[in-house]
Structure 1
Amino acid sequence: MRLHKTPRIPKPAKRRGASPIAFWLTFSFLFLFYFIHPWFILAQEEPPQFKPKHEISVTLKLIQVYVTDSKGQPLTDLEKEDFEVFDNGQRKNLTEFEKHLHSFLLPPESEKASEIATRETEPASRKFFLFFDFVYNNPKGLRATRKAALHFLDNIIQANDEIGIITYSLEGGLAVREYLSRDHGKIRRFVEAIGLKDYQGSVENLEARYWQQATEENPLDVSQRGGVGAGIWSKPEKDPIMDSPNVSEEMKRAFMTSENRVQALTFLREMTKLSKALGYLPGIKHLILFSSGIPYSLIYGIQTEDKSGGTWRQDWGQTQLQYYLDDMQKAISHANLVVYAFDTEDSVARINQDLRLTGILTLGKIADYSGGKYFGNIHNYTRGLEEVQKITGCYYVLGYYVDAQWDGQYHEVKVRVNRPKTRVYAQKGYFNPKPFKDLTALEKQLHLVDLCLSEKPLLQEPLALESGGFSFYEKGKENLILWTRLVREEMAKLAGNKLELLFVIFDKEDSIAALERRKIKLSSLPETEAGTVYFSPPFELPAGTYRGRVVMRNLDTGRSALGSSDLALGSEQPGELALGLPALLTAGQISEHDNSPLFFPPGWNRYALVSPRLKTGTEEFYALLTCSSPAGHSPELEFKSVLIQSRDGRAETIGSELQPLSSRHEAGRLSCLVRLKTRPLEPGLYHIYFHTTDKTTGARAARSLSLTVTD
C-alpha cells in the first residue's frame, strides 16, 4: 500500500489587520473537505498505476493554551519560544503563534496597559457552556447553583461572549438546552426557571420538531417531563426492594450500588457522545459544571477495614466505568472543552466522610485532565468565578502541522512552558476527523443545530440557497410560506443523491415556530439553469418578527446549502381588508414549481421568484400581492406603490409606476401580479410601500418590503 502525501502548503503573506489563525481555520477546513473527503477522492481520475487506498494530507492544528503563575495569575508576556508542544510524543515545530488578552485584565490608565493593548489581539468572544447536573446534586446545591449562574451572567460574561446551556436529569437525560448565543437575556430566563417552571430551550425544540418530521412520530415533549430538574423534587413511590422488611441490608446495598452504576454509566456514555459532537465546533469552549460528581469509589472501588469482622473489604471498582471515564476525558480534551467544576455538595457534611466515597476526586480528575480547575465549595462561587475570569482572560494559540487522516484515531498532546513555577491549561489530545456518514446521531444533530441557529455556521461553510418568504391572510389570520430555488447543477456540489430539505421558522427568541422536512433526490431535479422552486406549506403564526431558514443537506456527506430571510408578520385582521407580505419576482428563465399555492394569479409562473435583492441598473420588477376581504364582499381594489431609497441617513423618494397584470379572486381573498417600473436603480437599500384601497367601502391596507440593490 502506498501513501500519498501532499506537499506542505506554503504560508500565505499576511494582510494588514488579518488574523493568520482565522485565515488558516477557513483555509484548512476548505482544503480538508475538498481534497480529503472520501466523495471527492472517488471523483478524481487517478492514473492506472496509482490508486491509493488511503489519503493523507497536511493541515494546521491549533491548540489554545492558558498559563498561570503559582498564585493563579495569568502570564501575559510569553512568546512562541517559551512553548514546547508534543503530539503523540513527537515534538512539533510551532509555525503559528497568537496572544489574546481581554481588556478587563489590563490595569486602567497605566502605561503598561496602553502598551499591551496596542500590541496584543483582543479576542472577539469566549464560548461558555453552563452545565446543570440535576442527578448528582441536591436541593441545597441546586439553589446555590442558581445563584452562582446568575452571578456569572451579571458579573463575569462580556457582551460578545457566547453562552450555551447543557442539562442532565433522570427524565431528560443529557441535553443541549440552548446553543451558543449572545442573547444573554434568553440564557438568564432559563437559569431563573431552574426548579420553578417548565422551560424548553431552542435546541431541544428544534430536535423534537425535526425528529417528529423525520420519523412521523410525536416525540415526548420536554415540557411534559415536568420542567427543568423534574424528578429531583418529587417524592419517590414506595420501592418494593428498598422498603421491604424481608430484604437484607446487604441486598439493599448491592441493589443501590447496581442502580448507581447504571446511572454513572449512562452519564459517562452520554457525556462522551456530546463531547465528541462539540469537538466539531472550532476553538476552546469553557464548561462551567455544577455537580457533586460521581462517587470515586463507584468507579475505582475502595479498600477499607471491616471492623465488625476484622478483615479488609477489597473492592477494586468497575472496569467498565473506568473505561468510560477514560473515554469521556479523551473526548472532552478533543473537543477543546475546559471544565471548571463547582462542587455542589455540602462541605460541612463531608467533614468526617472518606473523600473516596464522594465525587471530589472524580470532579478534580475530570477538570484537571481537561486543563481546567476544581472548585470545592459552591457557596464560594464569587471567588471561584473570578478565578475563571482571570484564567480565561488571557490565552495563547499555538499552531503546528500534522498529517490529518479521516480515521478517528486519538492523539495525545502535551504543552510545556519554559518558565519555572507555572501551570499550563491545555487540551490533552484530540481525535482525527471522521467522514460525516460515520458520525453519531448526536453529532449529526449538532451539525443541523449549528446550521439553523448560528449567525454564521461554525462547522462548515454552507453553499448559498436563494430563498425568501411571503404571506397571506386566511380568516383574518396571517399565514407564512417559505420558498427556495434548487438548481441541479448547484445542488450537485453537495455530492450525493440522498438529500433532505428543511423549512424552519424561528421567532425572536430563537424558538422553533414551524418546521417542515422532506426528502429529495438530486436525480429528480430538472437539468435546467432555472431549476425548481419548492414551497413550504403555509404556517399560521402570530404577529411578530421571524427568521426563516431553508436547509438542504446531504445525509451521507453532511455537505449543506443554506438560505436565510428576515420576515415580519402583522396582527390579526378579522373582517377587515388586509395585505399580506409581498413576494418579489423578475423577468427571466422560467422555473418549475413544487407545491405552489393555488391562489396565485394567472401568468405568475412566467417570472422568477427572487429574494429581496436586485441587480444594479434594474428598471423593472414584479410583485405578488395577496389581499383578504370580509366574507361575502367583492372588493374593487386599487393598488399604489411608493419606492424610497435610504442614503446617508436620508430617505429619497424614487419615481415609480405600478401596473396590475393579472389577478385571481376567490372567497375572501384576491391575489394580484403587478409590475413596477422605475429609473435604473443604483446600489443601496430601498423600501417599497404597497397601498391598496377598496373603492366600494374606502377601506385601506398597506405593507412594506425592503430590498437591496447590488452590483
Structure 2
Amino acid sequence: MRNILVLISGLLLATPIAVAEDGTNASAGAPLESIDGVFLDTVDVNIVNVDVYVTDKKGNRITGLTKDDFELYEDGKPVVITNFYAVEEGTVKEGGIPLEPLDELAPPENFGSVAAAPEDQRLSLIVYVDNFNLHPFSRNRAFSYVRSFLRQKMKIGDRVMLVSYDRTLNERQPWTQDPELVASALYDLEDKSAHRVHWDSDRRDLLEAIFEADRISDVRGRVQTYAENLYNDMRFTIKALRELVEHLAGLPGRKAILYISDGLAMRTGEDLYYALDEKFRNRNASTNGLLMEAFRFDLTRDFQQLTRIANSNRVTFYTLDAEGLRTYSYYDVRNAVPGGSSFVDQTHFHNLQAPLQMLAEETGGFAMINTNNFSAPLARMGEDFTTYYSLGYSPATTASGRFHEIEVKVKNRKGVVVRHRSGFRNKPLPTRMSEGTLAALYHGYESNPIGARLDVGNEVRRDDGYYDVPLTIRVPIKSLELLPLQGMYRGRLRFYIAARDSEGGMSPVQDIPVPIDIQADQLQDAREKYYAYDLTLMMRRGGQRVAVGIHDEIGADSAFISTTVFIGRR
C-alpha cells in the first residue's frame, strides 16, 4: 500500500516551541533519560475486559450474578476481578457510572440528547455482507430479517456500520447512531451482484464430470485447479476480514461483527476429492494420496489466526449462514453408492459451516446455521447486547504481545452455559497507541481529555506535484505532568501520526518522542500556554484525513484527535 504521508526529516528535527497568545517561546530539551543519569520508570496499567454471557441449557439468561459468583483464569491461573459491570435488558445493575453524552460520533439531530454507556462498554456493531460468498436469493432473504432486527432491537445510541466485501472491502454506511440508516442501505445492496453462484455452478459441473468420467486422470486436474482457485479467493476473503478486525483494535468498548455469507470453505475442494475417491476407489485406479491432496488447501490456520486477532481486539463474531437449510446436490438416484455419495454433500456442508462456527464460538458469539428463519437467533444476539456481564482485570504478565488464554467459570451453579472470548493479547503501550491512532483515522474515534488541538496551515505545491502541508499539534501545558529536575521542569510526550486519502491509501503510523523543558521560574506563566509542535506532511492532491495520538509518558494520559483536509484546491 502506498504511503501518502512523509515526514520531511529536516523539519521533523526542527526544535518545537511552546507558545502563548503573545508568542512567548519555551525550549524543548534533550531526551529525558540522558539528563544527569536520571531515569523515569512509568507504570502502564492496562485493564482487560471480558464480556460474559450466561444462560441455562435452554438458552434462558441467568441474571442477578455478582462479582463473587465468577472465577476468572488467565492461562489456567486464577486472577483477581478488579472491575465488574452487569447489565440486564439494557439497564445497568452493577458497576455503572454516571452516563455521559456520546462525543465520538454526533447523533442525528432528531435524536436529541442521547445517554451512553461508559466508553469501555459502548456497543459498536458492524453488519458485514460478504457478497463474494453469497447467492442473491439467500442474501436478500436474510436482509429482511436483519432489517427487522435493526429497527426493533438496536438501541438509539448504539453505533452501527454497514460494509460489504465485493473482492474489495466497501463502506456502504459509515458509523451512525441511527440503525434505520443501515436498514435502508441494505436495500441498495440487494441490487448488487452476489458471486457465490459462479463457484457453485463450477462445482456442479465438476460433480457431473466426475460421475461421467471413465478415468481419474480425466478430471483430477480440474478438481485441483478448482480447489486452488477457491483457496486463493478464500485467502483474499480472510484478508479483508482480518484488515477490518485490525482496524477496530483501537476503538474502545464492545465490538461485534454480524457476518453474513453462505459459508466459507475450511478446506477448499475437499468434497470433490471425496467424490473422486468414491468413484474410482474400486476401479483399479490410482487414488493414492488423493485425500491427502485436499489438505494442501486447508485454511484452518488462517481462520485460527483471524479468531486470535478478533479476541485480541475485543471483537465478537456473530455469523449468519444465509443459505439456511441446505439440500443435497450430489446424492441422487443415478450416482448413489451404498454407504457413500451423501457423504460428499455432508462434507461440503460441514466445510462451509465449520469456519462460521469457529469464528463465532471462539470469540464469544454464536453461529446462526441450519435455519431459514433468522428472527430467533438475531433476537438472541440482541439479548447479548443488552444482557451481559463484563469482568475486568489487570494482567499479571508483562505486555509482550503474547496471546493468553482466558476461562470464566460460575461458582456453585450446575447446568450453566458460559460464553466469552477465548483469549487476549497483552499489547504494549506503543501498539495500543498506534491502534488508537488508526481508530481515529478509520472510524473517527476521538478522546481528548488533555484538550489538545490539531491545526493545519496552508499547503505549498512542490515541483514533483506533491504538497507540503504544515501541521501544528498544540497541547495545553497545564494538562501535562511535569517532573522537577535541577532548576527546571521536564515533560515527555510521544506523538503518533498517520494519514489516509480518499481512495483508502494510508501511511504507516509514525511515532515521535518529544521531551519538554521549562525553567522553574517560568512554570507559572507556561501553564497558561500551549506546547506547539510543528511538522510538515508531504501529501497528494485530494481529500486526506490526518490522525494524531498523544501520550503523556509521565502522567500516563492519552488523547486521539483527527481532522480532514482537502489538498490542492487553491
SS at match of 2:401: coil
Task: Give the unaligned 5+ runs of structure 1.
Answer: 1-39, 105-115, 197-227, 470-481, 505-511, 537-547, 566-594, 598-711
Report the alpha carbon displacement of residue 180 of structure 1 after superposing the two structures with TM: 3.6
What does residue 318 of structure 2 align with?
Answer: 340
Report the alpha carbon displacement of residue 80 of structure 1 after superposing the two structures with TM: 1.3
Residue 128 (1) aligns with residue 125 (2): yes
What does residue 189 of structure 1 align with?
Answer: 184
Report the alpha carbon displacement of residue 380 of structure 1 after superposing the two structures with TM: 0.6
Find the partner of 1:314 among 288, 291, 306: 291
Report the alpha carbon displacement of residue 79 of structure 1 after superposing the two structures with TM: 1.4
Change (3 A) 1:499 1:422: closer
CA offsets, 1:44-79, max 9 Å, x none? Answer: 458859899xx8745332211111111111111111
Change (3 A) 1:388 1:531: closer
Residue 427 (1) aligns with residue 421 (2): yes
SS at match of 1:349: coil
Change (3 A) 1:99 1:41: farther
Work out the CA distance in 1 between the residues paired with 2:198 and 2:511: 49
Query: What one-letter code is carried by the residue in structure 1 that aligns with 2:71?
Result: E
Query: What one-letter code is carried by the residue in structure 2 that aligns with 1:328?
Result: L
What does residue 89 of structure 1 align with?
Answer: 76
Report the alpha carbon displacement of residue 448 of structure 1 after superposing the two structures with TM: 0.8
CA contact (8 A) 1:146 1:194 kept: no
SS at match of 2:132: coil
What does residue 259 of structure 1 align with?
Answer: 229
CA offsets, 1:607-641, max 9 Å, x none? Answer: xxxxxxxxxxxxxxxxxxxxxxxxxxxxxxxxxxx
Query: What one-letter code is carried by the residue in structure 1 that aligns with 2:315?
Result: L
Change (3 A) 1:267 1:49: same
Query: What one-letter code is carried by the residue in structure 2 that aligns with 1:356?
Result: T
CA contact (8 A) 1:295 1:362 kept: yes
What does residue 346 of structure 2 align with?
Answer: 355
What does residue 392 of structure 1 align with?
Answer: 385
Report the alpha carbon displacement of residue 438 of structure 1 after superposing the two structures with TM: 10
Work out the CA distance in 1 between the residues paired with 2:317 and 2:83: 25
Work out the CA distance in 1 between the residues paired with 2:370 and 2:34: 62
Report the alpha carbon displacement of residue 341 of structure 1 after superposing the two structures with TM: 1.6
Work out the CA distance in 1 between the residues paired with 2:137 and 2:74: 43
Change (3 A) 1:60 1:236: closer
CA offsets, 1:260-279, max 9 Å, x none? Answer: 11112222233234323323
Find the partner of 2:64 among 60, 73, 77: 77
What does residue 163 of structure 1 align with?
Answer: 160
Work out the CA distance in 2 between the residues paired with 1:560 and 1:287: 26
Give the structure-2-normalised TM-score: 0.62
Residue 553 (1) aligns with residue 548 (2): yes
Change (3 A) 1:158 1:47: same
CA contact (8 A) 1:134 1:169 kept: yes
What does residue 610 of structure 1 align with?
Answer: none
1:334-483 alignment to 2 at 5 Å? 334-350=312-328, 354-358=345-349, 359-377=352-370, 379-403=372-396, 405-418=398-411, 419-434=413-428, 436=430, 445-450=438-443, 453-454=444-445, 457=446, 463-465=451-453
SS at match of 1:65: strand
Find the partner of 1:100 among 87, 94, 101: 87
CA contact (8 A) 1:100 1:395 kept: yes
Percent of aligned pairs sharing the same letter: 16
Work out the CA distance in 2 between the residues paired with 1:374 and 1:42: 52
Change (3 A) 1:234 1:555: farther
Residue 140 (1) aligns with residue 137 (2): yes
CA offsets, 1:528-549, max 9 Å, x none? Answer: 979799999xxxxxxxxxxx99
SS at match of 1:402: coil
1:654-673 alignment to 2 at 5 Å? none
Query: What one-letter code is carried by the residue in structure 1 that aligns with 2:141?
Result: A
Larger RCO (alpha carbons 8 Å, 6+ apart): 2
Report the alpha carbon displacement of residue 184 of structure 1 after superposing the two structures with TM: 2.6
Whichever of the two has the greater Rg, that structure is: 1
CA contact (8 A) 1:66 1:392 kept: no
Work out the CA distance in 1 between the residues paired with 2:231 and 2:179: 36
Report the alpha carbon displacement of residue 147 of structure 1 after superposing the two structures with TM: 1.3
Q: How many residues align?
A: 443
CA offsets, 1:667-707, max 9 Å, x none? Answer: xxxxxxxxxxxxxxxxxxxxxxxxxxxxxxxxxxxxxxxxx
Give the structure-1-normalised TM-score: 0.51
Work out the CA distance in 1 between the residues paired with 2:304 and 2:138: 27
Structure number with higher strand proportion: 1
Change (3 A) 1:67 1:248: same
Report the alpha carbon displacement of residue 167 of structure 1 after superposing the two structures with TM: 2.1
Report the alpha carbon displacement of residue 136 of structure 1 after superposing the two structures with TM: 1.9
SS at match of 1:151: helix
Change (3 A) 1:392 1:532: closer
What does residue 63 of structure 1 align with?
Answer: 50
Work out the CA distance in 1 between the residues paired with 2:474 and 2:198: 55
Work out the CA distance in 1 between the residues paired with 2:414 and 2:30: 48
CA contact (8 A) 1:488 1:522 kept: no
Residue 324 (1) aligns with residue 302 (2): yes
Report the alpha carbon displacement of residue 368 of structure 1 after superposing the two structures with TM: 1.2
CA offsets, 1:273-328, max 9 Å, x none? Answer: 43233232222222212112223443988878625323785336247622212111
Change (3 A) 1:82 1:167: same
Work out the CA distance in 2 between the residues paired with 1:596 and 1:136: 41
CA offsets, 1:411-464, max 9 Å, x none? Answer: 111111122111111111111225657999x986444123xx34xx26x76752
Work out the CA distance in 2 between the residues paired with 1:349 and 1:563: 51
Structure number with higher helix proportion: 2
CA contact (8 A) 1:499 1:521 kept: yes
Of 431-440 and 315-324, the range deviating more from structure 2: 431-440
Change (3 A) 1:184 1:489: closer
Work out the CA distance in 2 between the residues paired with 1:521 and 1:421: 50
Work out the CA distance in 1 between the residues paired with 2:266 and 2:498: 45
Work out the CA distance in 1 between the residues paired with 2:365 and 2:37: 52
SS at match of 2:46: strand
Work out the CA distance in 1 between the residues paired with 2:346 and 2:451: 54
Report the alpha carbon displacement of residue 194 of structure 1 after superposing the two structures with TM: 0.4
Work out the CA distance in 1 between the residues paired with 2:309 and 2:218: 41
Report the alpha carbon displacement of residue 391 of structure 1 after superposing the two structures with TM: 2.9
CA offsets, 1:543-567, max 9 Å, x none? Answer: xxxxx998563799998763779xx
Query: What one-letter code is carried by the residue in structure 1 that aligns with 2:452?
Result: A
Work out the CA distance in 2 between the residues paired with 1:433 and 1:287: 22
Work out the CA distance in 2 between the residues paired with 1:231 and 1:499: 38
What does residue 150 of structure 1 align with?
Answer: 147
CA offsets, 1:172-198, max 9 Å, x none? Answer: 2x45544442033432332121032xx
Give RMSD over aligned pairs: 5.5
SS at match of 1:331: helix
CA contact (8 A) 2:498 2:506 kept: no
